[in-house]
């Protein structure tokens, strides 16, 4: 029987990047294993790309939290668009020193510092949303990667010209490319079930039938961000009816009417 705690249910699907929100899927596990193993290869850079909402940030977040205790690894979850602040953050990550606010990190000096560390250390930087970085800053990232002391794992949104972007920005420096895709119906079902079961809502998991998953997949295309938004909206509508017109909702199955109402609210269906 479906729980009446819809407020808690909808909050399960708030779209956040956090290790507690990570869901183990077969495809995600495969991509994670490839990503982690790539760090042991003599690569300068690793590219993780896919459309927004395919789980790139979640994968970086999981990698960081899994490895931070035994690897020199730093995670820039938000782009640092100021070149001054970016170089400062790179140096602080490598040296463990805090640079005074008014001091600048000289790029040539940073390269020389990297050269001194060659064959002694390998420092990994995880950079999310790299499509937001400027071309001059990307050039500096390329040059830092050439020292083989600093290894970058970068994410890019997949666009119509992603291959052009990759070639233009990174050329031969990228030796590992991992593409993340939207989920198929099976993975989407597992994703939704695991999220609700993890919070103790087994009854809700049982109430979601394959026809409901098919309907959800049709409108979200298996995109995790869109799925989170859709499920949040569905349970938000349930929450409204529970508080105002409880007789209009069933306690043991998903309402097609509410699925359609949520789709209309989000613009998936034109009313």
Q: Do residues 2 and 252 make contact, with C-beta atoms less than 8 angstroms apart?
A: yes
With a CB cutoff of 8 Å and minimum separation 6, the contacts of 80 are 86, 89
What residue spans define the domains of the chain?
A: 6-16+183-265, 26-180
pLDDT at 69: 93
pLDDT at 43: 81
Q: Is 74 left (phi over 0), alpha (psi -120 to 50) or beta?
A: beta
How far apart CA 235 and CA 179 sit, in angstroms, is 31
- From first to last of its 271 residues, the chain has per-residue pLDDT tens of 454 588 899 999 998 877 777 888 988 899 999 999 999 888 888 988 889 999 999 999 999 999 999 999 999 989 999 999 999 999 999 999 888 888 889 999 999 999 999 889 899 999 999 888 888 898 899 899 989 999 999 998 876 555 545 555 555 566 788 999 999 999 999 999 999 999 999 989 999 999 999 999 999 999 999 999 999 999 999 999 988 888 888 767 888 999 999 999 999 988 6
Does this model's pTM top 0.95? no
How far apart CA 64 and CA 71 sit, in angstroms, is 9
Domain 26-180: assigned CATH number: 3.40.50.300
Q: Which helix (H) or strand (E) holds 86?
A: helix 83-95
pLDDT at 4: 58
Q: Do residues 46 and 154 make contact, with C-beta atoms less than 8 angstroms apart?
A: yes
Q: Residue 78 phi/psi, 5° resolution?
A: -120, 140
């Amino acid at each position: 029987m479906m729980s009446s705690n819809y407020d808690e249910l909808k909050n399960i699907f708030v779209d956040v990047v956090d290790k507690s929100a990570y869901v183990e899927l077969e495809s995600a596990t495969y991509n994670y294993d490839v990503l982690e193993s790539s760090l042991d290869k003599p690569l300068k850079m690793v590219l993780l790309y896919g459309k927004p909402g395919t789980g790139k940030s979640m994968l970086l977040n999981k990698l960081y939290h899994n490895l931070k205790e035994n690897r020199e690894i730093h995670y820039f979850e938000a782009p640092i668009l100021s070149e001054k602040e970016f170089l400062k953050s790179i140096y602080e990550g490598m040296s463990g020193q805090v640079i005074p606010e008014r001091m600048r990190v000289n790029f040539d000096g940073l390269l020389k510092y990297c050269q001194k560390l060659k064959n002694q250390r390998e420092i990994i930087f995880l950079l999310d949303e790299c499509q937001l970085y400027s071309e001059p800053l990307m050039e500096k990232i390329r040059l830092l990667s050439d020292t083989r002391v600093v290894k970058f794992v970068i994410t890019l949104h997949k666009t119509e010209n992603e291959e052009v972007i990759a070639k233009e920005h990174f050329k031969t420096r990228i030796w590992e490319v991992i593409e993340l895709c939207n989920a198929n119906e099976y993975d989407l079902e597992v994703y939704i079930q695991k999220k609700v079961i993890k919070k103790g809502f087994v009854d809700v998991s049982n109430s979601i039938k394959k026809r409901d998953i098919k309907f959800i997949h049709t409108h979200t295309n298996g995109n995790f961000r869109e799925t989170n938004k859709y499920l949040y909206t569905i349970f938000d509508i349930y929450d409204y009816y529970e508080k105002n017109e409880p007789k209009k909702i069933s306690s043991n199955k998903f309402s097609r009417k509410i699925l359609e109402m949520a789709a209309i609210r989000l613009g998936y269906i034109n009313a």
